[in-house]
Chains A and B, each alone.
Chain A
Amino acid sequence: MVAHAYDGLPDEACGLLGGRRRGDDGALAEVFVPCENADRSSRTFSLGPDAWEKADRDIEGRGLEILGVVHSHTHTEAYPSPTDIEQAGNPFLVGWRWVLVSLRQPEPVVRSYLIVGDDVREEHIGLVQG
């Protein structure tokens, strides 16, 4: 995810996370599918139809489900922007994780959030040995 964020510079980079839900609100992400940012913008991102269909099929083909969307903030913190919070109202994205990769500092920062209405809740993320 971080490499894809750097590759996307100067624009925001994006992609989808595939994996399995665990319990009530946990999830195990197993794959990140990098997508092209159709906006080609440093301020916004969107997945075009080709990127969506390819990622959707890739994740389904692995027997996984889409857990969330990943995107980079090139010059701001790893926190959902007002645009992100507004877009999280999308009924297709209910229960999705919003994973932010901030490249603002020399050291990249990755954080994950669940967004319900205006409520933004950060969740713990960690690496597990597979």
Chain B
Amino acid sequence: MTYNNKVEYLVGNSKIKKKAIEPYNIDVCNFLIDLSKKLASSKYSKDFSDIKTLAFWCRKNEIFKFRDRFISNEFRLGLGLLFHITPSNIPTNFAYSLIFGLLTGNSNIVKVPSKDFKQIGIICSCINEILKKKYKKVREMISIVRYSNNDEFTKKISNQCNARLIWGGDKTISTIRSFPIDQKTLDITFPDRYSFCIINSDKLLALSKKNIQILSERFYNDTYLVDQNACSSPHLICWIGKNTKKGKKLFWQNVFQIVKKKYDLNESAAIEKLTNLYGSVLSSAKIKNFKKFGNLMYILELKKLDQKNHEFRGKWGFFYEFEAFNLNQIKNFINNRYQTLSYFGIEKKILKNFIFKNYLKGIDRVVPIGQTLDMNFFWDGYDINKILTRVIDIR
């Protein structure tokens, strides 16, 4: 297999082997542990918090935790060759997708976004350094490519692979899907999702000053750290409880203190935020209130929720909020676009019942505030361990 049509190989080459091995192969695990060490020690990881996060995510303890969680009674092998089409909103996303593929015992061709993120270069050069000396077996399982407008390449790989992992918007997904795959090949899609947050104001008001600060900091990490660009970052905050007014006020004030200290708003983001705000004003007549803290934080309170909430996405610290008082007010608006529900001050059991009693069509993840960005082998409703492996039924 050789392609030269403007396909840039950041890792590996066109001679990748189509190989399916056992999940959590020890060489693969060790390779990832080495990668974690390298990324963490890399002089760059101090400049890129997302590289640090990635390093932490594939450290030794975590890898073995993933492995322990995988242990199943069935016999399993990887699917073979995976073709990853990764998104441009989160620079390190391609690495997570690759690690999913490697740990489940697959070979991987990973297409990274055409935008030249520094993080991509750093991660790829770390991988190359490790593979130069060791892990011949793993070397044959990775090829990271960058190209644009090369339908020929997409077509060829689509034709050969055993599964495609397609991250992206509706348009990307349907474009990739127009390239045929083998009858047995799987398409696993990770489309644009919408995430929201529920806060119990009464529980918030009962917190100590210090704990409110901690909660606000966690919320900051869920949102501002990625400019609200991650699918799991909340755009809408729903308030429940008796004393929502007071709770809201206290919460936003605390968040703002952190934003003021830590966040550097990009200049053009300021204008785009204003454009989005006026856009919301023009398309939705149900605005109850608007509060802004300079240009750093916009909070638009909605009078009503509807089926189109997921179309209103804030960025760079632009939040929609709604006083729901109780969960029943929200249930009718949750469609299959909803991915992560982050929460504070509500029992897990209540949230579980909320989803199961109402047979909600959306919400694949329920996590406490502060954990929305934690990548996991359960993602977008898939069990990655299972979907990227093949069961061999032996009796």
Mutual binders A and B: no
